[in-house]
Amino acid sequence: MSDSPVEATYPIPSREKDPTWDRLEDQITWYGDKSAKDKATYKWMKKVEIIAAAAIPFLSALNISQASTSWSHYVSWIIGGLGVLITILEGMLQLNQYQQNWIAYRSTCEGLKHEKYTYLAKAAPYKDAPDPHALLAERVESLVSQEHAKWASVQQQEYKVKDGGGQAQPKAGG
């Protein structure tokens, strides 16, 4: 087995000279970075929620057993604050959809990487295409457009929920 690296069968295009390749690399970077950020945010918020939720029963038991001490009043405030914190974090998770975005962005990023490596290897569908580079551009834009359409659909659904559950409102005068 040889230790020499595998070379691409197409030359790797220059980002400065090739807008398609620049777009592909830019989108891989954007979706990869955004996915990682949303994953980190989601996991951080869930960890804080779990710790806060676990602390509430412990502090409640401590508060009951130490009801006559001067600091039990403060413990009650801490318990209430932890409940408020959990509610705020869960609301932010639902509002910003960090987990769903993390998964969708990672999926799009991996799809874009798949196109990149399939193109570089001259594998199907690129190997028999009359213009493999144009096909790459079409497929990259298709993936990005699909992601945008999904995002727009979610935004529209959220708007309908906020606007009376998506029920049609009667028109004035009609």
Ranges of each domain in the chain = 19-151
Gap between the Cα atoms of 17 and 75, Å rounded: 64
Question: pLDDT at residue 18 above 90?
Answer: no
- Segment holding 100, helix H or strand E: helix 98-120
The whole-number average pLDDT for the span 44-64 is 93
Question: pLDDT at residue 174 above 50?
Answer: no
Over the stretch 110-150, which tens digit does the pLDDT of each residue have?
Answer: 999 999 999 999 899 999 999 998 999 999 999 999 988 88
Contact 85, 91 (CB under 8 A): no
**Size (the chain), residues:** 174
Over the stretch 55-108, which tens digit does the pLDDT of each residue have?
Answer: 999 999 887 777 677 777 888 899 999 999 999 999 999 999 999 999 999 999
Percent of residues, the chain, with pLDDT higher than 90? 61
Helix 98-120 to helix 72-96 angle (10° resolution) is 40
Name which residue leads in pLDDT, 16 or 68.
16
Residue 144 makes CB contacts below 8 A (sequence gap 6+) with: 27, 108, 112
Q: What is the pLDDT of residue 22?
A: 92
Question: pLDDT at residue 25 above 80?
Answer: yes
For residue 53, give the amino acid letter.
A
